[in-house]
Amino acid sequence: MKNKFMAVFICAVFFVVCFSGKQKVSTLQKEAISVSAVSAVLVCADSGEVLFEKNSGEKRAIASITKIMTAVIALEYAEKDDKIITFTDEMTAEGSSLYLKKGDKLTITELVKGMMCVSGNDAANAVAVGIAGSKEKFAELMNQKAQQLEMNGSHFVTPSGLDDEQHYSTAGDMAKLCRYAMGNKKFAEIVSKRELTVSYVFPEGKTQVCRNHNRLLSEYDGCIGIKTGFTTKAGRTLTSCAERNGVRLIAVTLCAPDDWNDHKKLFDYGFSITERFDLRNILEPLELPVVGGTADSVRICPKEECPVTVFTDRDNEITYKIFMPHFCYAPIKKGTVTGEAHFYRNNKKIASVSLTAAESNDLLE
Q: Is the pTM of this model over 0.75?
A: yes
Does residue 127 contact residue 92 with C-beta atoms inside 8 Å? no
The C-alpha atoms of residue 180 and residue 187 are separated, in whole angstroms, by 10
Which one from 54, 56, 67, 193 is the annotated catalytic residue?
Answer: 67
Confidence of residue 348 (pLDDT cuts 50, 70, 90): confident
What residues form DSSP beta bridges with 309?
Answer: 276
Q: Residue 2: pLDDT above 80?
A: no
The C-alpha atoms of residue 162 and residue 153 are separated, in whole angstroms, by 18
Q: Tell me, yes or no, if 67 is annotated catalytic.
A: yes
Q: Residue 88: pLDDT above 70?
A: yes
Report all structural domains of the chain as residue ranges with CATH numbers, in order of start: 16-23+278-357 (2.60.410.10), 29-272 (3.40.710.10)
Q: Residue 69: pLDDT above 50?
A: yes
What's the half-sphere exposure (Cβ side, CA atoms, 13 Å) at 130? 32
The C-alpha atoms of residue 25 and residue 40 are separated, in whole angstroms, by 24
Does residue 279 contact residue 306 with C-beta atoms inside 8 Å? yes
Q: Tell me, yes or no, if 64 is annotated catalytic.
A: yes
Confidence of residue 15 (pLDDT cuts 50, 70, 90): very low
Does residue 47 contact residue 309 with C-beta atoms inside 8 Å? yes
Q: Tell me, yes or no, if 134 is annotated catalytic.
A: no
Confidence of residue 314 (pLDDT cuts 50, 70, 90): confident
Which one from 39, 64, 96, 240 is the annotated catalytic residue?
Answer: 64
Which one from 96, 119, 154, 240 is the annotated catalytic residue?
Answer: 119
Q: Residue 7: pLDDT above 80?
A: no
The mean of the pLDDT values for the chain is 90
